[in-house]
Amino acid sequence: MFLISLRKTLVAACASTALLAMAQSTDPVKVGLLSTLSGPGAGLGVDIRDGFQLAIKLGGNKLGGRPVEVVVADDQASPDVGRQTADRLVKRDKVDFMTGIVFSNVMLAVGAPTFASQTFYVSANAGPSQYAGEQCSPYFFSASYQNDNMHEAAGQVVQEKGFKRVAVIAPNYPAGKDAIAGFKRFYKGEIASEALPALNQLNFGTELSQLRASKADAVYIFLPGGMGINFIKQFVAAGLSKDMTLFGPGFSGDEDVIKAVGDSMLGMFNTSQWGHDMANPANKKFVAEFEKEYGRLPTLYAAQGYDAAQLINAAVRDTKGKLEDKVAVRKALEAAKFDSVRGAFKFNNNHFPIQDYYLRVVTKDAKGRVTNRLLGTVLKKHADAYAGQCKMPA
């Protein structure tokens, strides 16, 4: 009698385990996509969202073989709104992953509730120096870059081209300060002037007057979204483009800015870890599918959103969907076994990429479109300057 009862207990236990495994395989993977979807920076968040959603669609609306639910929310480019919304996503909606933030000041506010809940954050853009260094976290992974990196590549280019006096302009917030620090790390000439306008400022009369007085021979800008669009229009209208060569990171010379500004962008140099004309198979597929889906060329933001989804997909796949095993998920993310649209990709000890950075120029392509063209590699297998400060928790 005892043996029969024991057998029934074991059968019931096995059935329970099977049902639990079945439930885990059919429950959706929940992703909180919190991004800037309103205001001057909305275009950047929209591109991240569109790139991420495209990867989901091409994967059969699944991540790692499991159905997926993407909870989209607008942080309004506000740290307070971002923190409150992130708290809701991790506590009420119980998302498995977070992604999408554009601006580093929002990312720094969102980190605390996200990491405290042991929810993995896969960045599709913001890469603040704090999270690369002393505040590195086992729950933060950058599928984009560290804030300084594109600016370091630009500093190297401006240095190599022999410009003696350079004016720099970046917004007065964490990523803007990282931008100037990165540029100065590689450019060794004279900084003729330095301006830190307010984030999302759209009128640059004061800064243009400073530029004219500086007698700089080149200008380096990091002005995301509407800031860059307005600055470049005003810079050209003021006649300054005749005497000063314009440089920027990839996102200040990206397709969204080009579309809004037009021919005035021609000749602008910018640095990036990606270009839509990169010839690897993953990128060719991404660009073709993005144009087919949305009717426009993808930006760097869209490419990073796409890669963020691919990284999450690899982690769910390689853990067989067992997302409750945080150690296994972390190891799967660290392994980064996915085909990035930028080509070679691997993580440093601080969960930021080691990758190549390229020089691009705004020109006209064979179809007569004003767009970016890759010119060559600036930095090979480049790591950020803060990794040595990261004592990654076990």
Residues 181-206 have pLDDT tens digits of: 999 999 999 999 999 999 999 999 99
282-339, pLDDT tens digit by residue?
999 999 999 999 999 999 999 999 999 999 999 999 999 999 999 999 999 999 999 9
- C-alpha to C-alpha distance for 320 and 109, rounded to whole angstroms: 32
Buried b (16+ CB within 10 A) or exposed e, 286-297: bbebbeeebeeb
At 20 the pLDDT is 45
176 in the same domain as 242: yes
Q: Residue 314 — left, alpha, or beta (φ > 0 → left; ψ -120 to 50 → alpha)? A: alpha
55 occurs within a structural domain = yes
Q: Is residue 232 part of a domain?
A: yes
- Overall average pLDDT of the 108-127 stretch: 97
pLDDT tens readout for residues 260-284: 999 999 999 999 999 999 999 999 9
Could you tell me if 372 and 229 lie in one domain? yes
Q: Cα dist. 205→198, 231, 257, 377 in Å?
A: 13, 9, 20, 35
Structure-token pair, residue 162: 């022999």
Residue at 162 is within a domain: yes
Please check whether residue 206 lies inside any domain of the structure: yes
CB 122 within 8 A of CB 101: no
Angle, to 10 degrees, between the axis of helix 300-318 and the axis of helix 281-294?
Answer: 120
Q: Which pLDDT value is given to residue 22? A: 45
Is the domain of 135 the same as that of 155?
no
**pLDDT at 19 (0 to 100):** 45
In a domain, 21, yes or no: no
Question: How deeply is 35 buried, as exposed, middle or buried, from its count of CB atoms within 10 A (0-12, 13-18, 19+)?
Answer: buried
Mean pLDDT of the region 215-226: 94
Q: Give the tens place of pLDDT for each residue, 235-250.
A: 999 999 999 999 999 9
Range of the domain at 110: 29-145+278-347
* Domain match, 120 and 55 both: yes
What is the C-alpha to C-alpha distance for residues 354 and 358, in angstroms, rounded to an integer?
13
Token pair of 167 as six digits: 């004016």
> For residue 14, is it within any domain?
no
Per-residue pLDDT of 372-391, as tens digits, reads 999 999 999 999 999 999 99
| 18 pLDDT higher than 80 | no
* DSSP-assigned letters across all residues of 256-316: HHHHHHGGGGTT-EEEES--TT--SHHHHHHHHHHHHHHSS---HHHHHHHHHHHHHHHHH
Domain count within the chain? 2
CB proximity list for 278: less than 8 A, separation 6 or greater = 341, 342, 343, 374
Residues 180 and 82 in one domain: no
The reply to whether 140 and 152 lie within a common domain is no
- pLDDT at 8 (0 to 100): 54
Confidence at residue 7, expressed as pLDDT on a 0 to 100 scale: 55
For the cut 80, the answer to whether the pLDDT of residue 3 exceeds it is no
Contact 196, 225 (CB under 8 A): no
Nearest-angstrom CA–CA distance, 392 and 394: 6
Statement to judge: residues 198 and 288 lie in one domain: no
Same domain, 79 and 172: no
Res. 394 pLDDT band, cuts 50 70 90: confident
Residues 292 and 254 in one domain: no
Q: Which range is least confidently modeled, 7-11, 66-70, 261-265, 268-272? A: 7-11
In terms of domains, do 337 and 376 share one? no
DSSP 186: H
Q: Are 227 and 198 a contacting pair, CB within 8 Å?
A: no
Asked if 250 and 366 sit in the same domain, the reply is yes
Tens digits of residue pLDDT in 159-182: 999 999 999 999 999 999 999 999
Look at 7-16, 161-170, 207-216, 271-280 and tell me which has the smallest mean pLDDT.
7-16
* 302 domain-assigned: yes
CATH code of the domain in which 172 resides: 3.40.50.2300
Mean pLDDT for all residues in the chain: 93
Task: Work out the pLDDT band at 225, boundaries 50, 70, 90.
Answer: confident
Q: Residue 64: inside a domain, yes or no?
A: yes
Same domain, 324 and 196: no
Q: Which alpha helices (DSSP H) does 102-162 contain, by range?
A: 104-116, 129-132, 149-160
Task: In whole angstroms, give the CA distance from residue 361 to residue 376.
Answer: 10
